[in-house]
Amino acid sequence: MSAGIIGALVGLVIAIADFALLRLLATRVELPETKRVLNVTGLSQLVLLPIVGYFVAPLFSGE
């Protein structure tokens, strides 16, 4: 398994954990705009963190 794939998987795990925490925080907020921003942030991290992990992990592993 290449370093890029491992980095993408680690990024996905971190993104899922962060998404769950942001959704939990969104349930405690009163303003609908803030809830929407927290949900959009969580969804964007689900896409961006695996991509960043895919490109950054080979730099750390030396590939």
Please give the Cα distance from 60 to 15 (Å, whole number): 20
CB neighbours of residue 63 within 10 Å = 9
pLDDT for position 61: 85
Provide the residue ranges of all domains of the chain, joining segments of one domain with +: 3-61
pLDDT per residue over 4-62, tens digit each? 999 999 999 999 999 999 999 999 999 999 999 999 999 999 999 999 999 999 999 88
pTM: 0.86
Of all helices (H) and strands (E), which one includes residue 31?
A: none
| AA identity, residue 30 | E
- pLDDT for 29 equals 92
Cβ atoms of residues 19 and 39 within 8 Å: no
